[in-house]
Structure 1
Amino acid sequence: MSNSIPVLRVVRPTNDFAPLERFYMQGADFRRLAAFEGRDGFSGMVLGYPRAPWHLALVREEGQIAPRAGSPEQLLVLYLPDPDEWRVAVDRMTAHGYEPVPAQNPYWEVAGKTFEDPDGYRLVFQNRAWDL
């Protein structure tokens, strides 16, 4: 049995990379980890933080129109327990023109701020630790 930790990749479709690059890279401070063009009818980019065990892949399928998020509960949640780091993250989003939106689930309002990306998917900065 391996002791390695699996890497989680969340993949979601889009029609337009440019506004998502601005939202996730400038606003949320993600990095572009990889990109590909025209691979079996798909183009995309992989975003996240170097060496983090997760990343977000945004893909566009040739000839297909991607729908907007189907629910305000389609969330990515980043737990930022340090209040100063959390405030920096929230302030960076607002400095780039993204205002918090009300969370569908009141749980996220208690210690978090929710932002909606240009495709209607939501990113929550949660000012709590994730303890199992």
Structure 2
Amino acid sequence: MTPKLRVARPTNNLAALRHFYVEGLGLSELYSFTGHGGFDGLMVGHPQAPYHLEFTAQAGHAVPPAPTPENLLVFYLPEAAAWQAAVARLQAAGYAPVPAHNPYWDQQGLTFEDPDGYRVVLQRAAWSY
């Protein structure tokens, strides 16, 4: 059995992250919750994928900024049409590409910054490792 991966992180901007990851990046909202032990949360991903992202906000708690330009989520989209559609969807949602800190990511991809400052790379290449 292949394990499932959940990447979880706190945020002060749950609604803004929903807009970026669901409307912009095109991930599905898999689950959301409110008032669960003082936390609200959102899980996004692709229903059949072995991973999902979870964002949580705690009432009365401010999350300090944490990202650097090298905190990346990289999505490999080898098909040109799928890559172009993903880029267009993010741009239509109001997000512009930013220069990658590591120039490697600009060779075959574009980098976008989410509302918390974390970066998402749309890489037009197959993952071959």
Out of 73, 76, 79, which is 2:76 matched to? Answer: 79
Task: Supply the RMSD in Å over aligned alpha carbons.
Answer: 1.1
1:1-132 matches, cutoff 5 A? 4-132=1-129
> Shift of residue 16 of structure 1?
2.1
> Shift of residue 57 of structure 1?
0.2
For residues 97 and 45 of structure 1, what CA distance do their matches in structure 2 show? 21
One-letter amino acid of the counterpart of residue 51, structure 1: Q
One-letter amino acid of the counterpart of residue 29, structure 2: R
> Shift of residue 61 of structure 1?
1.9
For residues 69 and 79 of structure 1, what CA distance do their matches in structure 2 show? 24
State the SS of the aligned residue for 1:9. strand
| 1:39-97 deviations in Å (ceiling 9; x for gaps) | 22222010011111111100012321112333011111100011111011011111111
| 1:88-126 deviations in Å (ceiling 9; x for gaps) | 101111111110000111111110100001110111100
- Contact kept in structure 1, 2:73 and 2:120, CA below 8 Å: yes
TM-score under structure 2 normalisation?
Answer: 0.95
Unaligned runs of 5+ in 1: none
State the SS of the aligned residue for 2:19. helix
For residues 21 and 66 of structure 2, what CA distance do their matches in structure 1 show? 16
Unaligned runs of 5+ in 2: none
The aligned length equals 129
